[in-house]
Structure 1
Amino acid sequence: MADLTKEFLAVQEDIKNDIKRESNKKPRRTLEDLKTKYHGERGTARREQFEIDLSLDVISEKIKEMRKSKNLTQEQLGDIIGVQKAQISKLEKGSRNVTVETITKVFKALHATVRLKIETDPIENLSIHI
């Protein structure tokens, strides 16, 4: 009987230690959790601005990557679409002062397809192909 009591107490102690270890672990956070923590809930003005800025940053990086893969300088790409090198530079640096028309011209010059997706509500999606 004493052996069973010792074994029972040892198992109880192991369980307590496991619970302590688990409670000391930091909870895992998803990307969505971090976006919410630092940029607000979805649908708020602050969060929407962050998502727009992030999208523009991704577009800027993609333009730069594609231009370089085609061995074009900023000046050459500008000549192709009819703008100055400075505008291509600003676009690649993430300028927020850019039109959809310019972005479309750049991607067409780089032989890429551009699709603009506008969501009017969670169920209904409208896709516009440029």
Structure 2
Amino acid sequence: MATKGKPMTYSLSEMKDEFIGKTGTKKRDAYEHELSMEVLSYMIKKVRQERNLTQEQLGQLVGVQKAQISKLESSANSATIGTILKVFKALKAEISFHVKIENRKLQFG
């Protein structure tokens, strides 16, 4: 039933909490991990294209086959941190990781 007045609005965080699960739950952690891997895959592809490199050329720079670069660009889930670091180094792109422990933030890169 429609109500008069201002429509109800929800933040993205509230929607995630409602439909995926609260932060810290198994389902939410899996979702956040998958999203992070998708963003990473997208960034690798975007930087490769900006550098005007083919997947084969990037693979040669990294020392892997074109198929591995293709797989990495479609999903970084199976990639090791070492491979990801090699890819960004070959792309001459800086990458950094942030790890938050309690209220302290550690940085790598």
User: What is the TM-score of this pair, normalised by structure 2?
Assistant: 0.91
Query: What residue number does 1:84 align with?
Result: 65
> Which of structures 1 and 2 has the bigger CA Rg?
1
User: Are 1:113 and 2:94 an aligned pair?
Assistant: yes
Query: What residue number does 1:35 align with?
Result: 16
CA contact (8 A) 2:44 2:88 kept: yes
User: Are 1:126 and 2:106 an aligned pair?
Assistant: yes
Aligned pairs, number: 107
Query: Which structure has the higher relative contact order (CA within 8 Å, separation 6+)?
Result: 2
1:96-111 paired onto structure 2 within 5 Å: 96-111=77-92
Distance 2:98 2:26 in 1: 20
User: Are 1:93 and 2:71 an aligned pair?
Assistant: no
- How far 1:104 sits from its partner (Å)? 0.6
Runs of 4+ aligned residues of structure 1 deviating over 6 Å after TM superposition are: none
- How far 1:125 sits from its partner (Å)? 1.2
Fraction of identical pairs, as percent: 42
After superposition, give the CA deviation of every residue in 1:54-107 in whole Å (9 maximum; x if it has no partner). Answer: 011001001111111111110000000000001000000014111001111111
Higher share in helix: 1
Distance 1:88 1:96 in 2: 13
Question: SS in structure 2 opposite 1:53?
Answer: helix
- How far 1:38 sits from its partner (Å)? 2.1
Distance 1:68 1:128 in 2: 25
Question: SS in structure 2 opposite 1:127?
Answer: strand
Distance 2:37 2:14 in 1: 22
